[in-house]
Amino acid sequence: MVNPENLTFKAGVAYYPRCAIFSGKIMFPLLIMIGRNDQWHLARACEELAAGRANDSAATDLVVYPDAHHGFVEPNWGTGQSVLGFRLEYEAKTAQDSFGRAKAFLARNLGGSP
């Protein structure tokens, strides 16, 4: 698709993305946050993606929460549910930490204060 406005991203935040299927080059600063216990999208794939971007012009910040599962920012998952065989679980402290990191990252990359 042609971008008639020549619009570009200035920065991005990705919560538990599917890093394993990414094959392109990201041209903007990116913050990835994922749980080590995420069974749906593996943290290892995001670690490999971030390591592969070490020489890119735009930085990738990666936060892997050691005890978090997929869906850690979604309160509707409560103390945990199984969906299609994958564990989804809200984790309030992790969610709050991730929101603070996202806010600081965007302020740093877009200007303004967190």
Whether residue 6 is contained in a domain is answered as no
- Determine the straight-line distance between the first and last CA of the chain, rounded to whole angstroms: 34
Which of 34-38, 46-50, 51-55, 87-91 has the weakest average pLDDT? 51-55
pTM listed for this prediction: 0.86
Mean pLDDT value across residues 53-67: 85
Q: With 90 as the cut, is the pLDDT of residue 107 above it?
A: yes
Report the CATH number at residue 96: 3.40.50.1820
* Domain limits for position 79: 12-110
Question: Are β-strands 81-83 and 86-88 bridged in parallel, bridged antiparallel, or unpaired?
Answer: antiparallel
Q: With 80 as the cut, is the pLDDT of residue 43 above it?
A: yes
Q: Encode pLDDT of 1-26 as tens digits.
A: 455 566 678 899 999 999 988 877 77
Whether residue 1 is contained in a domain is answered as no
Whether residue 106 is contained in a domain is answered as yes
Whether residue 5 is contained in a domain is answered as no
Whether residue 69 is contained in a domain is answered as yes
How many CB atoms neighbour CB 17 within 10 A? 18
Report the distance separating Cα 41 and Cα 18, nearest Å. 5
